[in-house]
Chain A
Amino acid sequence: MKHILIPTTYSIDTVDAMKMAAGLATSGECEITLLSISPLPDSITELLFISKPEHLALDQHETLLRAWQTVQQHHTVRITVQEHHRFGITEPVFKQILERLSIDMVIIPPSFQRSKDFAHSQFIKLLQKSRCPAMFLPIQKDAPEHLRRALYIDAGNYPGETLESLPFHIIHQSMIRPTEHLSLRQIVESHQIDVIVHGKTTAHADKEISTLGLPVLAV
């Protein structure tokens, strides 16, 4: 994982996503792009004369960057952070961002998942349709600091090549003995699972997954 995109509302929980991005860096360096999306203004004058920074919550922005600087000092990985702002999001623009920046993974902080803004929910929809891996941080709990083991809960094809570059160990659900008859929560606890991984194309009992309070990686 070299280049990670984090869509953000500049809430403080973005730092957790950035920490996770740094933890996923596998080659000693990591590039993080913070993407903020504002709704497209109704009037042309607003679009022309109001600069991008004016659409950001500047105080939150500064708090976040200050918090990140403190966190960054404890990391040995070389991390560069870039910021990118867009007015509205469409499928071609979304694809262009992923291609131009060669994004390896998108990490979505809880505040962005909860956001009711149309552009934000549109971004998540487009992400679900794309082939880029998407990591959804848990809404109720803090994400674990180190990701060691993941549970792949999909009976379909195992995307070995995509998952190979991830630094955590992925346990396929079929590796757990069927005789054990354990619930998902019991499996997670007994095998010390930190992440849930599933395919984007298959439907899951999302409620059960969301109650686990673990990050969910959709590939």
Chain B
Amino acid sequence: MCCAKTKRMKIRNRVSLIFVAITATLMLLLSIFIYLLSAHNTHRNFYTRLRVRASLAAEGYAERNAPNGYRAQEMRKRHLQRLPYEKDHFITIDRAAGTWEPDTALQLPDDFYRTALIQSYAEYDDDFHHYVALIPPKGPGDFMVVAYAVDVTGQSYIHQLLNLLIAGFALAIIIVFFLGRLFAQQVIKPVSDLAAKVKHISASNLHSRLDAGNGKDELSQLAQTFNDMLDRLETAFEIQSNFISNASHELRTPLTSILGEAEIILSQPRQQAEYETSIQVMQQEARKLDDLTASLLRLSQVAYDGKNQSIEEAGLEEILLQAKSDIDKRMPGNRVRIMVQDVPDAPDAFRLVCSRVWMELALINILSNSVKYSDNKEVLATLSATANDIYIHVSDSGIGIPENELKHVFEPFFRASNTFSYRGYGIGLPLTEKIIRLHGGKILIHSKPQVGTKVSLRFRRNNTLKSSERNF
């Protein structure tokens, strides 16, 4: 419980942290982008304004000796807003020689002047202190104006933006963290609910099922998978309990007969002939018991003791014919007809890696069932093959199996409701099914009461070896 809780907490925290990390990265990148773009635009705007101011200053300086000079300066003073800490410096230059007389009040790099001399315009800023150098194109060309101003508004705007972005970032991270936790909790909740429900299902209430919801999302699929598993478990439990009750019933019946017979015969002194008859009855019942235990032993051996069986490649055609000759000995007068498909192109078409003894036993069981339950009518057994598979079909025109009982025929000791007039224990078919399954094959039964039964066996030629190796 404790560990499960810790794990759940860990997953929840992990999801929250992933959420926070993703959001933080995205927000950080977005904030940096906004900040850089805004700073760039602020600088550009200020440079544009400073350039206009520098241009007018240069014009005014050029008109200083004109008769009605200072017109440009007048206009500049009257109509244009002065920039904060604005100052103009006029520097004498010699464009041909590429020299200038630096203003000692200005601490500017030489590159700035050189760029201005080449391109007639240059920009330089130290944080929000902006410098623009301009050589007027129409003037005498012997001076350059260096305009200086501080972008106080821009500076305050950018600082405000930075604070806003930092605060927004921090707030968003906190919100996302809590939302992430909430989300993770929502995601984990159905899983923990599922675990809690599964915990309540035990051997005593195996019929309980989980709520699979709408069946579309992954959790519904998980619940459905659990339900399927529970179906299989419940069936296995049911088969096991049926097996035990049926086995004890089948074993008890001959034992009760033997005990009853012994009790009656011993109750008083009897004639020799009576003793003999009684002992014969007991012997008959003891043989039944022997048959039954031998069948049970075979059934369990197929599952647990198969390693001792020799695995070899054998022709199913031969095994089928061998089974037929065995049936001929056991049930003389049977009308089993064997037909084999002609495959001239593939002489090995019916060869299969298998345990010859078990396979023969399985086929004998199927054939003898068909003969027995069809009251010696014709039974047809065919062997056919495709590129990948080998098929054996056995059909009869017997009593058939009732529709609703078909699903139980592979359960040990199960006998269909219409078979009570026939001798049997209900072990042959489960044993056959187990043998076929161990050989990687598939058994399918189609049946209609009073019409007949068709048993189909399919063996995959490629899979057979692998599954045989695994199981035997």
Which residues of A come within 8 Å of B, CB atoms? 23, 26, 28, 76-77, 146, 148-149, 157-161, 164-172, 174-176
Contacts and interface: CB of A to CB of B under 8 A. Distances in A.
A172 B384 contact: yes
A76 B405 CA distance: 13
A171 B382 contact: yes
B434 interface: no
9 contacts: A23-B448, A146-B451, A148-B397, A148-B451, A159-B386, A170-B393, A171-B339, A174-B343, A175-B342
Is chain B's interface secondary structure helix, strand, loop, or mixed overall? strand
Given A148-B395, A175-B342, A160 B380 contact: no
B44 interface: no
B386 A160 contact: yes
Interface string B378-420: 0010101111010101010100000110100000000000000
Interface residues of B, number: 27
Interface of B: 339-343, 380, 382, 384-387, 389, 391, 393, 395, 397, 403-404, 406, 444, 446, 448, 451-452, 454, 456, 458
Contact of A160 (B342, B448, B458): B458
B342 A174 contact: yes
Given A158-B384, A171-B339, 12 more contacts: A26-B446, A28-B404, A146-B448, A148-B395, A148-B397, A157-B386, A158-B385, A160-B386, A167-B454, A174-B342, A175-B341, A175-B384
A164 B380 CA distance: 16
Contacts of B458: 160, 164
A166 B340 CA distance: 19
B403 A28 contact: yes
B377 to A, nearest CB: 11
A123 to B, nearest CB: 29
Contacts of B386: 157-161
Contact of A172 (B341, B395, B404, B456): B341
Contacts of B456: 164
A192 to B, nearest CB: 8
A161 B454 CA distance: 16
Contacts of B341: 158, 172, 174-175
Contact of A169 (B342, B387, B393): B393
A161 B451 contact: no
A164 B444 contact: yes
A215 B354 CA distance: 38
Contacts of A149: 380, 395
